[in-house]
Amino acid sequence: MMQTDLSSALSLALVIDDSHTQRLLAREVLEQLGLFVEEAENGAAGLEAFKRLQPDIVLMDVLMPEMDGFSACAALRKLPHGQHTPVLMLTALNDTDSIAHAYDVGATDFIVKPFNGLILSHRVRYMLRASQAAAALRNSEASLARAQHIARLGNWQRDIPANTVGISDEAHRTLDLPAEIFNGTYEDFRKTVHPEDKDRLEQLVQAALAEHQPYCTDYRIVLPDNSQRIIQEQAEITCGADGTPVQVIGTVQDITDRKRTEEQLRTLAHYDGLTNLPNRRLFQDRLDQALRVGRRQQKVLAVLLLNIDRLKRVNDTFGHTGGDLILQSVSERLLTCVRQSDSVARRDEEAGAVTVSRLGGDEFTILLTNIDSPQAPAKVARRVLAALTPPFFINDQEMFLTGSIGISLSPSDGNDANSLLKNAGTAMGHAKKQGLNTYQFYAQDMNATAMQRLALENNLRKALGRNEFALHYQPQVDIRRWEIVGVEALIRWHHPDLGMVPPAQFIPLAEEAGLIASIGEWALRTACTQHKTWLAAGLPPIRMAVNLSSLQFDQPDLCGTITQILRNTAIPPRHLDLELTEGVIMRNAASTIKTLQQLKQLGITLSIDDFGTGYSSLSYLKRFPLDTLKIDRAFIRDVTSNPDDAAITTAIIAMARSLNLRVLAEGVETESQMTFLREQGCDELQGYLVSKPLPAEELVQLLRVLPPCPIQGGVAASLSNERKP
């Protein structure tokens, strides 16, 4: 290692460390720099040595017996010669809190052990030079020009009546004002100011002149290569005898590097170095801000505290490096599982409706603002748990992890950050006691509802494997011929303890939990198998209508799945009728048309379910390859008593006929409803007037013999209702 000119200064370094080995390593580096070196084995001994030797620089360990480095540094700064002596902290603590504490007690800089000798050498050389420069500034006015050059600090003087500005050489360099573009006017003085900062700067200057007050501000300048620098400008106003401003004297300093350093320090102070997420300090700051806004606007917010279950197993198996990889993967999944519309807060974004943070260790938080219902945080919690379900990989080895989440709400569970975090932690502890991989509300009344829903979801996940689902079938009848032309397969859930769970209760939950695709495929396969059984028994061929959910419709292999089911059950494709809601087919019209055309190529028929409740337009319906419109039961219920429902139903039937589509009315329960529908030209009906949904074995008799039409003359006399087996 090359010696520097520091040796000529006969600089003395004091190394304070309880490790003999570390002192020897530091001594070797410092002596190669040409420094004299003295040692002390702990903080207390180091203070005594400092008083006696008055060294030029101190290298001090953080963790030492008798007196640690933080305490020793704080005490050193109070000594007569300790105020300006540079102190380099040697620490094995690589967390931002320890680094911040070191600066708080007066450390000049820090370096992490085990240190690199070359880096330590450069760090010490830099600190000594800075110390010597500062000493020179304090002791000699003659060094002012040199110091201004080092600091890129220039001065200027403005003559207001003459509109001229005189600037120093350093100001010329700082503002990048070469002589050829600077003619000494105030306008020339501002030529390189960034266009976006000019108005703000001038407003500040005019306000200072009007109030006769000094000012200090930062602004950007644009260099010829379009790069930017940050300038700090300070100035004072001088007034004439009449009180009118006549002169402004100021300084300009290039603080670009300082701003970058401040940003780096801000990053260290506010962001987790491993995951790049906001840390505890920034999370609490944002939570405090959100609470203040929430109190003003009377808004509810939620804190979700996530703990990764049994992460210690990963650390024990793969070491902390493996644990760090898992934590990084968890953070990425958290950012992707929270919807983009929720404005997830990354480093370069403002705090939005959601802030994902890492508190430390295996704990993460999610802050939700603008909560519109108690179920909103529960939905996010379920998305988070679902995001943790796929395996994690360390060195090509699979690892399966779960999480436990505690949820607290403001204002019901607390009005300050500490209370909300504490209560979320309590709820998270309860979640772990419930068996892991779950969430818990702190509020007991909400928790009861959430737990019931969670229990239902857990039972729903097991229902397929336990054969708890069954299909019931509701006949679809041709109004004029009074024949069963089809049936709709409707899923039922027979829970061993809860009994019959209503579809309205478990279908939305299945969609939310991501189970509807597998349940829907089971229903489709079961319905086709049943149809094959009926055909084998000699029953007449009819349509089998099966509902498709949005998640099923979005499956990339939908056509392949249906093809395989048709092949396995050997039913003619024309006997399968797939029902889709308006919301499904209108969500992405271009993509929907392509999928529907592929389904039509298989030979199956397509129906739009619950028509009239969505937002279909005639122009789109003309483009969709549909066969049937099913009028929603909401219009049929009062079709004979409500003129609006009658008009809508009549219009739907007329529109369908213009598009050559079959019309089926759902929820028909009365003879008067049937009479109205037949008079308007409706083709088919479905409802309790014919039959409620029935198990397959009970429907067989109805398929063989349909009771007479309740309307006299409603069926041609030549047609028989008798069906041969």
HEC states along 183-242? CCEHHHHCCCECHHHHHHHHHHHHHHHHHCCCEEEEEEEECCCCCEEEEEEEEEEEECCC
**Spatial contact of 542 and 486, defined as CB atoms under 8 Å apart:** yes
- Sorting pLDDT into bands at 50, 70 and 90, what band is 411? confident
Query: Which amino acid does the sequence have at 272?
Result: D
Give the pLDDT confidence of 297-324 residue by residue, as tens digits: 888 899 999 999 888 888 878 888 888 9
**Spatial contact of 134 and 213, defined as CB atoms under 8 Å apart:** no
Closest residue by Cα to residue 448 from 440, 456, 459: 440
Give the pLDDT confidence of 154-182 residue by residue, as tens digits: 889 999 999 999 988 888 888 888 767 78
Tokens of 693: 């949904």
CA dist., res. 317 & res. 159, Å (int): 74
**Spatial contact of 427 and 407, defined as CB atoms under 8 Å apart:** yes
Burial class (CB in 10 A: 0-12, 13-18, 19+), 328: middle
pLDDT at 628: 93
pLDDT at 449: 60
For 100, 108, 208, 585, the CA distances from 104, given in Å and listed in that order, are 6, 10, 34, 62
Give the pLDDT confidence of 97-140 residue by residue, as tens digits: 777 888 888 999 888 888 888 889 998 999 998 888 777 766 65
CA dist., res. 545 & res. 556, Å (int): 22
Element of type H or E holding 268 = helix 256-270
Give the pLDDT confidence of 592-622 residue by residue, as tens digits: 888 899 999 999 999 988 776 655 555 567 7
Q: Which domains, ranges and CATH numbers included, belong to the chain?
A: 5-139 (3.40.50.2300), 145-259 (3.30.450.20), 273-463 (3.30.70.270), 469-704 (3.20.20.450)
**Spatial contact of 327 and 447, defined as CB atoms under 8 Å apart:** no
**Mean pLDDT, range 425-439, rounded to an integer:** 86
CA dist., res. 92 & res. 98, Å (int): 10
- If you average pLDDT over every residue of the chain, what do you get? 85
Element of type H or E holding 454 = helix 444-463
Q: Enumerate the β-bridge partners of residue 355.
A: 367
**Spatial contact of 597 and 569, defined as CB atoms under 8 Å apart:** no
Give the pLDDT confidence of 14-31 residue by residue, as tens digits: 999 999 999 999 999 999
pTM of the model: 0.46
CA dist., res. 455 & res. 461, Å (int): 10
CA dist., res. 682 & res. 654, Å (int): 9
Q: For residue 15, give the 3-state DSSP assignment.
A: strand
Burial class (CB in 10 A: 0-12, 13-18, 19+), 658: exposed
Tokens of 488: 């709709």
CA dist., res. 638 & res. 45, Å (int): 95
Closest residue by Cα to residue 574 from 534, 607, 548, 544: 544
**Spatial contact of 664 and 607, defined as CB atoms under 8 Å apart:** yes
pLDDT surpasses 60 at 141 = no
Neighbours of 462 (CB within 10 A): 9
